[in-house]
Amino acid sequence: MSSTQIPENTSNFTSKDLVSDQDIRWCPGCGDYSILKQVQKVLPELGLKKENIVFVSGIGCSSRFPYYMNTYGMHTIHGRATSIATGLKVSRPELSVWVVTGDGDSLSIGGNHFIHTLRKNPNLNILLFNNEIYGLTKGQFSPTSPEGKVTKSSPMGSVEHPFNPLALALGADATFVARSMDRDPKHLQAMIRRSAGHEGTSLLEIYQNCNVFNDGAFFAYTDRATKTDRALFLEHGRPLLFGEGNKKGIRLVDGCHPQVVDVEKEGLSESDLWIHDEKDSLKAGLLARLPENQGNGEGEFPSAFGVFYAVERYCLEGAVRLQIEKARERMGEGDLDALIRGDHVWEIK
């Protein structure tokens, strides 16, 4: 089933044209600013027409996003952005539809639409701003907050085991799963580009700092002192390397048990290591859960950033269109009079 292609033209706008006239109302220092900037930076490169772009969001700090984009936009209700975006995309396949959502919006109240959207695979780009907290309602734990998290609603610590959002997405048969972060603009831009390029639902989880209610949750991945040991950047076809000078690697023992190794010390070649394959769903799952593994030999497991998984599957809107076309082929363009009349009529004279 061929999916509908977004028309590729040269863009008719620049980053500046994307800035709306509305004052931005995020807290100073909020990670959302960077994400907005990177999106505004990347969009003009994609060969889209500005009038064909629509941003759809739910409710949350992150979901204010559409107001700041001088494109078509819908700020909707809590948790339903993916469904609303799906309706828009299925009815107007030529539009480039972006969903902006938070960890509460998409994984808490919106969890059902989230998983169903992923399996149905309309060609949407989902930007999930994960700050592991409810920002807008002033700091309650979210479904991604770690166990024991102390918040306003969990003064003795959260008793809930959190979701691993990417593992959940893979379990829901997502076709594109990636992760980036607000504080790494270049990587974020690259990931936005990859998301846009994917035909089908692309899920980009973005670690986002909420400096008011959950400050520093992801600093380990960007702070000088820790970042090389804690963040691993994925590249398709390349071995999993990280640490100072990429001296650490990950290898798979028995084909499926990850192990952190010192590449130089053990004199390993690249091919001894786990080579990242974006098409391998099993390995994508393993990557999503990488930091959940017990540290071994060479220390803790890092968190991965990049494209975990990217495969092709027909898009929902394409399949819907195809049936309409087939129906027209089979039955001809709808004839209202014939429909209403039906097969059994009688006349009164």
> What does the binding site for ligand SF4 look like in residue numbers (CB under 6 A)?
26-27, 30, 32, 61, 131, 135, 210-213
> For 108, which DSSP code?
I
Question: For the residues of 219-250, what is the DSSP string, one character each?
Answer: GGGTSHHHHHHHEEE--TTSB-EESGGG-EEE
Burial class (CB in 10 A: 0-12, 13-18, 19+), 185: middle
Q: Of 265, 269, 212, nearest to 239 (Cα)?
A: 269
The number of beta carbons lying within 10 Å of the beta carbon of residue 88 is: 19
CA distance 260 to 295: 8
- For residues 119 and 173, the answer to whether their CB atoms sit within 8 Å is yes
Q: How far is the CB of 159 from ligand TPP (least distance, A)?
A: 19
Q: Which of 115, 133, 169, 288 binds ligand TPP (CB under 6 A)?
A: 133
DSSP alpha helices (H): ranges in 121-208? 165-171, 185-197
Among 49, 281, 290, 296, which residue interacts with a second copy (rule: CB under 8 A)? 281
The encoded tokens of residue 271 equal 């091919």
- Nearest CA to 34 out of 242, 198, 186 is that of 186
Q: Does 161 participate in binding a second copy (rule CB under 8 A)? A: yes
| 68-107: contacts with ligand TPP (CB under 6 A) | 78, 102-105
| Residue 124 interacting with a second copy (CB under 8 A) | no
Give the interface segment with ligand TPP, choosing from 43-51, 126-134, 148-156, 226-234 (CB under 6 A).
Answer: 126-134
Report the nearest approach of a second copy to the CB of residue 130 (Å): 15
121 binds, among ligand TPP, other proteins, a second copy, none (CB under 5 to 8 A by kind): a second copy
- Minimum separation from the CB atom of position 138 to ligand SF4 (A): 7
Residue 283 binds what, of Mg ion, a second copy, other proteins, none (CB under 5 to 8 Å, by partner type)? a second copy
Which of other proteins, ligand SF4, a second copy, none binds 32 (CB below 5-8 Å, type-dependent)?
ligand SF4
Could you tell me the smallest distance in angstroms from the CB atom of residue 205 to a second copy? 14
Q: Which of 54, 169, 191, 232 binds a second copy (CB under 8 A)?
A: 169
CB of 142 to ligand TPP, least distance (A): 5
Of residues 135 and 165, the one with the C-beta less far from ligand SF4: 135
- Concatenated DSSP letters of 23-57: PP-SPTT-THHHHHHHHHHHGGGG---GGGEEEEE
267: left (phi over 0), alpha (psi -120 to 50) or beta: left
| Residues at the contact surface with ligand TPP, assessed by CB under 6 A | 59-62, 78, 102-105, 129, 131, 133-137, 142
